[in-house]
Amino acid sequence: MKLKHVMIVLKKEIKDLIRDRRTIISSIVLPMILIPLINIVMGGSIQKLEKDMNENVTVALSQSSNTAEVRELVRDRILSKNPNIVLVDADDPARAIENDEIRCIIDVENTYAEKLNKGQPIKITLQYDESKTKSQAAAEIVSMAVGEFSAEVVEERIVAMGFDPAILQPVQVEWENIAPADKGNNMMLEMLLPFLISMLIAIGGIPAATDLVAGEKERNTFEPLLTTLPDRGSLLLGKYFAVTLFSFVSLVAILVGLAIGYMVNPNSLTVGIDSGLQGIMLDPLAIVLALLITIALGMTFSGIQIALSTIAKSYKEAQTYLSFLMLATMVPGYATMFTQATDLSPVMFALPVMNTVAAFKMLLGGRIDYFNLVLALGTSIVFVAVTLAFAASLFKKEKVMFRN
């Protein structure tokens, strides 16, 4: 095996791939635009939904309780501290919910005034449509308003009886965040970014791997290549590095897309759920280790992709195998997606994909554990060696190389 031959193959493959519009569009341009765009749109939708749920909460009284007295009670007392809740008139409240004219119906029992005077509990029924998120949220908001009204009535009664209302609250709970200022809550970012990085690096080389072996076989360019001076190891390594490089280019392109998305709308990075980028641990050594783990993951998957592309009889067959690989990659990715930085176990650092997810969760969570990072790097190097050896063994197998 000669480095010179590896470099010749690598140089040619890069030139060839750069000129392949299909590969450039599918692995760089589309994800670079689509992923941030999806984040921005999805984030925007989530934020809009959240805003819509809390603003202009339109409610109406049920037909049986739609009297001037009840309206006064509801508007002036129960909902008085909630300007976001708007009491409207509806001839047919149930239909009004169905038509999205109102979100919730308030039904106050007819004997409420008498019961209130007697100090007896009154029943207020909230009718809503569980199939509608906004209706469900409205019922919760109104329920809280009713709760506040209930507390006020209790307080009035206690005062009327000559007691201090404080006797109803023997214990006061206070919340205090003692986490260092640099350890913020990046829950969404911890969940999304490590998953995205791991997935992209693991699958980014698929179009290149499909083209560089199965594609070459199909276009009959592979056999002439095998009759040239370099041994198969050099040919393999040239292609392997091209696939690895391409998976990185793909990852970098998407990260650039995400950064642009962040600049356009900071909430896009976390799909609008939290503002993100708080307390991220910028420990240089940990960052280097995480990057090395990512590179190793890219190389591991390049080895697998080249191997599958070599086994395939045709370009289409390679695409099928590599689609399965893409799905298989998602399993460890999703398995660790919801794990928080504080709950990472050493096992996660010893398995491919999971280890990269875990390393980036650690960085984002601001809790660095060098033992686990080194463990992840060590196991990653083993995976790189195993997958590369597997691909190399296939390149030497006549049955596989000349299957078609």
Which amino acid appears at position 291 of this protein?
L
Name the minimum Å distance from CB 359 to other proteins.
37
Binding residue for other proteins, selected from 170, 180, 224, 284, defined by CB under 8 A: 224
220 scored as a contact of other proteins (CB under 8 A): yes
Closest approach of Cβ 382 to other proteins, in Å? Answer: 30
* Binding window for other proteins (CB under 8 A); candidates: 53-61, 81-89, 186-194, 221-229: 221-229
Which residue's CB is nearer to other proteins, number 57 or number 318? 318
Residue closer to other proteins by CB (options 16, 109) is: 16
Alpha-carbon gap, residue 200 to 221, rounded angstroms: 29
User: Near other proteins by CB under 8 A, which window of 126-134, 137-145, 330-338, 394-402?
Assistant: 394-402
List the one residue from 221, 320, 323, 340 that touches other proteins (CB under 8 A).
221
- Nearest distance, CB of residue 400 and other proteins, angstroms: 12
Q: Does 223 bind other proteins (CB under 8 A)?
A: yes
- Cβ proximity to other proteins: between 7 and 255 the closer is 7
Q: Which is nearer to other proteins, 309 or 356 (CB)?
A: 309
Give the binding range for other proteins (CB under 8 A) out of 5-13, 60-68, 258-266, 363-371.
5-13
Residue from 3, 6, 9, 202 that binds other proteins (CB under 8 A)? Answer: 9
- Interaction of residue 219 with other proteins, rule CB under 8 A: yes
Reading the block at residue 395, the tokens are 């390149």
Distance in Å, CB of 31 to other proteins, minimum: 22
End-to-end CA separation in angstroms for the chain: 26
Residue 342-381 contact track with other proteins, rule CB under 8 A, x = bound: ----------------------------------------
Contact call for residue 20 and other proteins (CB under 8 A): yes
Token duo for residue 193? 């970014």
Angle of CA points 365, 193, 275, to nearest 5°? 70
Looking at 109, 148, 152, 231, which residue binds other proteins (CB under 8 A)? 231
Q: Toward other proteins, which CB reaches closer, 19 or 118?
A: 19
Query: Does position 3 bind other proteins by CB under 8 A?
Result: no
With beta carbons less than 8 A apart as the criterion, state whether 355 and 184 touch. Answer: no
Residue 73 engages other proteins in binding (rule: CB under 8 A): no
What's the per-residue H, E or C state across the chain? CCHHHHHHHHHHHHHHHHCCHHHHHHHHHHHHHHHHHHHHHHHHHHHHHHHHHHCCEEEEECHHHCCHHHHHHHHHHHCCCCCCEEEECCCCHHHHHHCCCCCEEEEECCCHHHHHHHCCCCCEEEECCCCCHHHHHHHHHHHHHHHHHHHHHHHHHHHHCCCCHHHHCCCCCCCCCCCCCCCCCCHHHHHHHHHHHHHHHHHCCHHHHHHHHHHHHHCCCHHHHHCCCCCHHHHHHHHHHHHHHHHHHHHHHHHHHHHHHHHHCHHHHHCCCCCCCCCCCCCHHHHHHHHHHHHHHHHHHHHHHHHHHHHCCCHHHHHHHHHHHHHHHHHHHHHHHCCCHHHCCHHHHCCCCHHHHHHHHHHHHCCCCHHHHHHHHHHHHHHHHHHHHHHHHHHHCHHHHCCC
Q: How far is the CB of 286 from other proteins (least distance, A)?
A: 41
Per CB under 8 A, the segment of 40-48, 215-223, 266-274, 366-374 that binds other proteins is: 215-223
Stretch binding other proteins (CB under 8 A), from 57-65, 133-141, 218-226, 262-270: 218-226
- Answer yes or no whether residue 1 interacts with other proteins by CB under 8 A: no
Residues near other proteins, by CB under 8 A: 5, 8-9, 12, 15-16, 19-20, 219-221, 223-231, 398-399, 401-402
